[in-house]
Amino acid sequence: MKVLIIEDEIPAQRLLKEIINQIEPPVELVGCLNSVESAVKWFQTNIHPEIVLLDIQLSDGLSFEIFQQINITSMVIFITAYDEYAIQAFKVNSLDYLLKPIDKEELQIAFDKYEKYDRKFLQEKNNDLDYKKLMNLIQEEKKEFRKRFLIQANESFFHLSVHKIALFYSLQGITFALTFEKREYPINLSLENLMAQLDHNQFFKINRGLIINIEAIIKVHSYFQGKLKIESNPKHFEDIIMGKDKAASFKRWLDN
């Protein structure tokens, strides 16, 4: 399987390269581009790869402009931080989407999906997408993040503000919110769906089972084999360990 990266941020390019090198079965990276103009020229002179990892905002415009200038036969995995409405549009009309910062497990799942789907069906479906309308939608739509959750307590309800939540974690298939006041409440959303609604400048998905608020991070310690151990307040019921594959993106997030 051949893969092309179109991403204008060098750190994000580097992270994608690192993750691709860890993907199974191995894939071949055919190039890294950073603009609409360079992408159009590349597709005009090269055999199109099976998959394109495509950022939405490039150095010279939105990536949907590429599809207005040239017919691309590759399957597209969008890289985006746009809100849930736009994300759903991507899911319907493309192979998949990824939310920044990129997660190795999610990229692996997206590649596996390519192997499972019928490619002819995906190409026909992708060709039906009106990229101009979708581009206008993103340009016109103001990004909104979730501000609160409706919480049920016995026979009453109240709202819980997002900024009061230190951690989201999954336990036995149930998602919980842990507040800075050390109170826990069940949330009727998966962690993956939560990340699509949270401000990525404020929250980071540490692993499959935990999302952390930057304000809850006290210290970060080096751990075994390139991993990180995170000290939080309030404390989680178990050690917060981040894998080596996400450590670099986590450090960039802290320094943003």
When computed from its CA atoms, the radius of gyration of the chain, rounded to whole angstroms, is 20
pLDDT of residue 86: 57
pLDDT of residue 213: 97
pLDDT of residue 155: 77
| Extents of the domains making up the chain | 2-140, 148-254
pLDDT of residue 127: 55
Asked whether the beta carbons of 8 and 35 are under 8 A apart, the reply is yes
The two most distant CA atoms of the chain are separated, in Å, by 65
Residues 244 and 175: their CA atoms lie apart, in Å, by: 25
Residues in the chain predicted with pLDDT less than 50, given as ranges, are 84-85, 92, 120, 141-142
What is the rounded (10 degree) CA torsion for 254, 144, 106, 27? Answer: -90
Q: Which CATH superfamily is domain 2-140 in?
A: Response regulator (3.40.50.2300)
Sort 234 into a burial class: Cβ within 10 Å, 0-12 / 13-18 / 19+. Answer: middle
Those residues with Cβ within 8 angstroms of residue 73's Cβ, 6 or more apart along the chain or in another chain: 48, 123
Q: Are strands 217-222 and 228-232 parallel, antiparallel or unpaired?
A: antiparallel
pLDDT of residue 205: 92
Residues 66 and 34: their CA atoms lie apart, in Å, by: 12
pLDDT of residue 121: 52
Residues 93 and 134: their CA atoms lie apart, in Å, by: 10
Asked whether the beta carbons of 229 and 241 are under 8 A apart, the reply is yes
Task: Tell me the CATH class for 148-254.
Answer: mainly beta
Q: Residues 73-107, buried b or exposed e (16+ Cβ, 10 A)?
A: ebbbbbbbbbbeebbebbeebbbbbbbbbbbbebb
What is the rounded (10 degree) CA torsion for 137, 138, 143, 149? Answer: 60
Structure tokens given for 82: 């746009």
pLDDT of residue 92: 46
Asked whether the beta carbons of 217 and 232 are under 8 A apart, the reply is yes
Digit-coded pLDDT (tens) for 165-193: 999 999 988 999 999 999 999 998 888 88
